Amino acid sequence: MKVWITKYAFTTGIYEAEARLCDNGSETMIEVKTNGLLTQYFHGKDWHKDKASALVRLAEMKEKKIASLKKQIKKIESMTI
């Protein structure tokens, strides 16, 4: 099946891959073979069945990352020397 991977969205972007559901019967885990040599496994919110849900997840990830960076900036700015 065709899936969209968001796990590495900040470094490699969202990418499309052919995957299969894992044998454990879980709908939340997939297996992706790359170059015939490497097998990657993705769980839960790291992959999506359609591009629209992958874009929604990316927006959520972006908001969380920005909030985290703002918190770090505030902490650094409040430091005294």
d(CA 49, CA 21): 11
- Show the CA angle centred on residue 46, arms to residues 42 and 51, nearest 5°: 115
pLDDT of residue 27: 65
Buried b (16+ CB within 10 A) or exposed e, 4-38: bbbbebeeeebeebebeeeeeeeeebbebeeeeee
For the segment 38-63, the average pLDDT, to the nearest whole number, is 95
Mean pLDDT of all residues in the chain? 92
Name the pTM for this structure: 0.81
Written as six digits, the tokens of 13 are 């972007």
